[in-house]
Amino acid sequence: MFDNICKFLVENFSSDFATWLLGESINLTELSPKELSLEPIRADALILLQSEQSILHLEFQTQVDAEIPFRIIDYRLRVYRRFPDKAMYQVVIYLKQTNSNLVQQNTFTIAGTRHEFAVIRLWEQPTEVFLRTPGLLPLAVLSSTIDPEVILNEVAREINGITELRTQSNIAASTAILASLVLDKEVIKRVLRSDIMRESAIYQDILQEGKAEGKAEGKAEGKAEGKAEGKAEALLEVARNLFSTGMPLEQIGRVTGLSIEQLQYLQASESNQ
């Protein structure tokens, strides 16, 4: 779930990430992994953005993974095969603090071959870097601070100052989910407004899926429009009720038809009411 939230942020606020990681606010567009034949190697978690001259490759990690150096060089070679004239910047960003030496590893080395890439450990990064642009706000609470709750309050003030509602809700929802890596849900609930998060893209995706299912059932009965809204709300209400029973998310998913990631997002959103 966490890497998908980061992927969402990068794709929707690419200029903010380009400013942070590349030092310049350039327009970046998504590069489909299909163009690189990457399906066999975790293409679902791959974040590739491109401009006319360069490609930015990001990997967000909550857990250490000994295979990362190999994935990095594999992506580099595949990109080179497709775009030999483009510069490529590769960055692995660790979200959650760990004492593992793997988070220090920034090279892939075998006999006769050495490839380097950048590594960022968020807990070592200065907080002010993430308070400058909206797209980076959700990462601020994971930065170098002895009191993440204080930073969450500061982020909340910044979010309240965002005038565009959908942007505001998406940033708030992303912040709530990433903050759960370092803060108790009751703290997050106290600081962030759940009504804002309900307008976010991910929450609306869950609602729309419910509506689509309702329309499908309604058409079979000749009552498509009347069924759609009620079905969507019913799915969400069933999920909320099952959360309180302690039922595993896998089982709730089977009951409601919602994915695990959608349920995790909904659970995080509901905890902030």
Do 137 and 130 meet the contact criterion of CB atoms below 8 Å apart? yes
40, amino acid identity: P
Q: b or e along 126-140 (b: 16 or more beta carbons within 10 Å of the residue's beta carbon)?
A: ebebbbebbbbbbbb
Which residues of the chain register pLDDT less than 70? 1, 33, 37-45, 194-200, 202-235, 237, 241-242, 244-245, 247, 255, 269-273
Report d(CA 191, CA 254) in Å as an integer: 32
Local structure of 54: helix, strand or coil: strand
271, amino acid identity: S
**What pLDDT shows up at residue 234?**
64
Do 107 and 117 meet the contact criterion of CB atoms below 8 Å apart? yes
Nearest of 43, 51, 49, 95 to residue 71 by alpha carbon: 43
> Over the stretch 91-134, which tens digit does the pLDDT of each residue have?
999 999 999 999 999 999 999 999 999 999 999 999 999 999 99
Provide the residue ranges of all domains of the chain, joining segments of one domain with +.
Answer: 2-124, 134-197, 201-270
95, amino acid identity: L
**What pLDDT shows up at residue 211?**
54
206, amino acid identity: I
- Dig out the tokens for 262 from the structure: 């959608």
Local structure of 26: helix, strand or coil: coil
Question: What average pLDDT is seen over the chain?
Answer: 82
**What pLDDT shows up at residue 226?**
47
The secondary structure of residue 103, as a DSSP letter, is: G
CB atoms within 10 A of CB 86: 15
**What pLDDT shows up at residue 101?**
95
Do 158 and 137 meet the contact criterion of CB atoms below 8 Å apart? yes
CB atoms within 10 A of CB 160: 11
